[in-house]
Amino acid sequence: MTTLRCISPIDGSVFATRETLSPETAANAVTRARKAQANWAARPLEDRVRMVMAGVAAVGAMNDEIVPELAHMMGRPVRYGGEFGGFNERASHMASIAEDSLADIMVGEDASFKRYIRRVPHGVVFVVAPWNYPYMTAINTVAPALIAGNAVMLKHATQTLLVGERMARAFHDAGVPEDVFQNVFLDHDTTSDLIADRAFDFVNFTGSVGGGQAMERAAAGTFTPVSTELGGKDPGYVMDDADLDAAVDTLIDGAMFNSGQCCCGIERIYVHESLFESFVEKAVAIVRGYTLGNPLDPETTIGPMAHVRFAQEVRAQIDEALTDGATAHIEKMPADDGAAYLTPQILTNVTHDMRVMRDESFGPVVGIMPVSDDDEAVRLMNDSRFGLTASLWTSDIDRAARLGDRIETGTVFMNRADYLDPGLCWTGCKDTGRGGGLSVIGYHNLTRPKSYHLKKVTS
């Protein structure tokens, strides 16, 4: 067994520890899940929906405890109130569309034949969730997987060690059987061995590119579907006809909120040359108004990064860019300790030769470049190995749609950014991975089609 340690970014102390399951105990947990899944799937859909939504409500009832706990584990300031709004929105939407999404697809019926396609649960779904939005990212899969009739095993990130326990307790209190929804602590080797042994019928992983590759390697040859949402380097493009103030406010918030640790956070911004200087001036003013500090302090507007090593990577990207000629616009803030507390930064005079414009930063830094036209902007937006979202700013919806067709991305935003709409498929391309969560497509991915071709007996 291995001891998992959650190191608080507030002060570097050990906030929580848990022991991983032995391989034998983990295998037994999977066996129990598989045995319980059949009875769970046999329950009426409305019962599964009711219990899942009662579990969601039970998580909401814990929110006063959850908010400071998240600050201790991953550094998000308490002033923002946690994740229950998005957590509830996503689960509620998936509950509301479940009946239609899981309904039989009728192909035809006549005197001789009845033909239809049924959506049936995979069986045991393994969810590996990340630390940056630990409740919202987990519920994206947990809620629809359970509603669709699967058993779920949730493995959460060490940085947010207590989240899975809270979710499991809430759902069990709401009536979901303990073996149907299990929170598990696993080391990497046991995780890989379980996947390779076909313990799971579907794997959903949100995290790093390296982590996603490890999942796919473990599943190689098993034919177990692996859904991934991995790295990002999401661009924003401000066109010449954009609402400048709205663009600055939204894009900078998208770059800096949660200390830049957002799956679809804005990591690079391209601004039409006619608006470039004004955009940068307004952006710098916003960031200079932030208060970097202890996330338990209600006056803090930007907290530490979740771990010192994450902050070190961002500092390295910034330092390399400055060495290569970039300009930094934000002076070092008093709380910047050279460790997890990192001054948010805006860079100009950047190029795509710099890692800060090429590699995932996942921190509070954004590079801003001027562009002369749409073609240059599209070329730069596509000059990335990632493709999760792109944010376009214009008053012309047709122009945005035309450009969106040319951008290699999973989601195209117009005049907004950094938002997950549960009615739309959450997906990506290139090194962002191949997944499809939420929406009706989320249900289709969490089930498999089963065709029925029934010949009637006629006298």
Nearest in space to 228 (alpha carbons), one of 127, 366, 155, 305: 127
Is 229 a catalytic site residue? yes
Is 46 a catalytic site residue? no
- What's the pLDDT at 1? 80
DSSP state of 75: -
Domains of the chain (ranges, CATH numbers)? 3-230+433-455 (3.40.605.10), 234-421 (3.40.309.10)
Q: How far apart are CA 416 and CA 328, in angstroms?
A: 26
Spot the catalytic one: 69, 83, 229, 267.
229
List 437's β-bridge partners, or say none: 426
Q: Which helix (H) or strand (E) holds 107?
A: strand 105-109
DSSP state of 292: B
Spot the catalytic one: 6, 262, 263, 264.
263
The residues of the chain scoring below 70 in pLDDT are none
- What's the pLDDT at 458? 83
Q: Which two tokens stand for residue 223?
A: 């034919």
**Contact (CB, 8 A) for 18 and 185:** yes
For residue 349, which amino acid is it? N
